[in-house]
Structure 1
Amino acid sequence: MESICFEVTELDELYDQMKRAGGCGRAFYFYDPDGNKYAAWQGV
């Protein structure tokens, strides 16, 4: 499945704003041992 990810500086603030607006998930980035960057996202 294709997705679009945005890197933001204030994730908690953005999450609170979107949650109040009625639609949001929670996301974070992580790296594998080779340095490849991945995103994990959970929708509401």
Structure 2
Amino acid sequence: MYSIASSDSGHKAKDNLKYATNRVLTGFASCILKRRRIFLIYHC
């Protein structure tokens, strides 16, 4: 899914992977929070 091409070895790739993972996790969490808010609004 992610192709990381960089001249300096593993360190930058590891940082990119950590960044991508954080982005995915925060996006997932905000999506869940939005859905929960909508769920609460619909079920009040």
Q: Normalization by structure 2: what TM-score?
A: 0.30
Structure with the greater alpha carbon radius of gyration: 2
Greater per-residue strand proportion: 1
Q: Normalization by structure 1: what TM-score?
A: 0.30
Greater per-residue helix proportion: 2
Structure possessing the higher relative contact order (Cα contacts under 8 Å, 6 or more residues apart): 1
